[in-house]
Structure 1
Amino acid sequence: MITSLQVPYSDIALEKFTYYALSQQMETLPWQPIAHVNWKEFPYKPAVHFQITHDNQRIIIHYSVQEEFVKAQYVRINEAVWEDSCVEFFVSFDGKASYYNIEFNVLGAGLIGAGSRVKDERIRLEQATTVKIQTATTVVNVGGKKKWNIILVIPTEVFVEDKIERLTGVTAHGNFFKCGDSLPTPHFLSWNKIEYPTPNFHLPDFFGELVFE
């Protein structure tokens, strides 16, 4: 089943760039679950939700995660952040012929890949492009329960293979993920369901529809 999501327009002030300042401006936006456990070999299901909005020039995504373990080994751009406590956003602006994979760990270290679904045709974007994504994070540990949040502010200029002048009126395709390949309990959750025999997020056939209002 292909899901459709309306991405609302919001005027988000970025002058005071803290997690609390940004999250307060997003508090009325609806939460969406990342809850599909697609592979029975990896049944662990942390509680993961996200909010999403845009201001024509930026996509703003707020992830909320509660999980048993939080791992943050990688601190540099383009390292293997998917092995840490990691959230991901894949998006295509050309009907799923090509797409971007945006992956960030709990520390705000990240990477962006781009290209077609053919693995050998994909590239990792340069550090100068990836650092244009701003992040704000928070981690809370209460009674042994670990909850962390991250807000990604993604400017359209990081979508280097597409010319996006404004997001309003754009219909894209994408998926949202939570993973932790090297955690004590590896897991691979998605917003839109994936039907594939082994864990793999790089499957644009299972992207949902994103309609930017």
Structure 2
Amino acid sequence: MEVEITYKIIVKEVYAPFIPGTYDKNSLNELSILLDKEEKYAIDNLLWSDTGYFPSVSFSVAHTEHDIALKYFVQEQHTQATFTNVNDPVYRDSCVEFFIAFAGDDNYYNLEFNAAGTALVGFGKDRNGREQVPDDKVSSIKAFSAINWADDPADLNVWELTLLIPFDVFVYHDIKTLKETTCRANFFKCGDDLPEPHFISWSNIDSVVPDFHLSDFFGTIKFI
């Protein structure tokens, strides 16, 4: 007798509430405080590592009339922010990332930030042949970084990064509003050149090969 076994794939969800008001580089601290009050989601799938090094990372996310608002909360032993130019390889530093595919599109944007807020943004279907978003658009992302360096090297550095991402950054889409929309997304933490390299995801990636660019494993983000 043959028994058919089916497996249910659980798709993770994150909810991004609407925050009224208009924000810019001068009001990022106010936005940061508002994001502190929103639900925090853990980035807690440690991938492709058996060293035991596991930074603590979470995020909160919302949207405004013209932007995505995103805040990361990080605790880690090794923190590095050496890259300062737009579209530098910030994944080599202490890096947090946000990948998003808008409704009905197989292509997605990868938005990557080091602890100082330097940004890299690309677009494409997978990790190969990605189109770099123009520097002037990436430069429009506003970042507010706060790093509390540990006095003892054995202790953890604690840092937060608040980001205001204008819809104009998504140059291959004409985004006017995200209200009542659902997209596919994933959130990450990495640090390729750190003393303890690591790869951590919000939505788990079932792959033996290290690769954040596997959109089949994206979860869902609902803008409400």
TM-score higher than 0.5 here?
A: yes
1:50-199 → structure 2 map (5 Å cutoff): 50-95=59-104, 97-117=106-126, 119-120=128-129, 122-144=130-152, 145-199=156-210
Cα separation, partners in 2 of 1:196 and 1:141, compared to 1, 3 Å: same
**Alpha-carbon distance between aligned partners in 1 of 2:51 and 2:179, rounded to the nearest angstrom:** 38
Cα deviation digits, residues 57-112 of structure 1 (max 9, x gap): 21000101010011111111111100000100000004451000000101111110
Shift of the 175–151 alpha-carbon distance from structure 1 to 2, 3 Å rule, reads: same
TM-score by length of 2: 0.89
Work out the number of aligned pairs and report it.
Answer: 212
CA 1:118–1:82 in 2, change beyond 3 Å: closer, same or farther? closer
1:148–1:205 CA distance, 2 compared to 1 (3 A): same
Q: Distance in 2 between matches of 1:103 and 1:16?
A: 19
| In the alignment, structure 1 residue 6 sits paired with structure 2 residue 15 | yes
Judge conservation of contact 1:12–1:22 (CA < 8 Å) in 2: no
**Secondary structure at 2:149 match in 1:** strand
Counterpart-to-counterpart distance in 1, 2:12 and 2:28 = 29
Q: 1:206 offset after TM fit, Å?
A: 0.6
Amino acid at match of 2:197: P
Structure 2 stretches lacking a partner, 5+ long: 1-9
Q: % of aligned pairs identical? A: 35
What stretches of structure 1 of length at least 5 have no aligned partner? none
Larger Rg: 2
- In 2: Cα distance, 1:18 partner to 1:140 partner: 21
- Provide closer, same or farther for how the CA distance between residues 16 and 127 of structure 1 changes in structure 2, counting only shifts above 3 A: closer
User: Structure 1 length as normaliser, TM-score?
Assistant: 0.93
AA matched with 2:14: L
Q: Give the distance between the partners of 1:34 and 1:167, measured in 2 at CA.
A: 23
Q: Extract structure 1 runs of 4+ deviating beyond 3 A.
A: 40-43
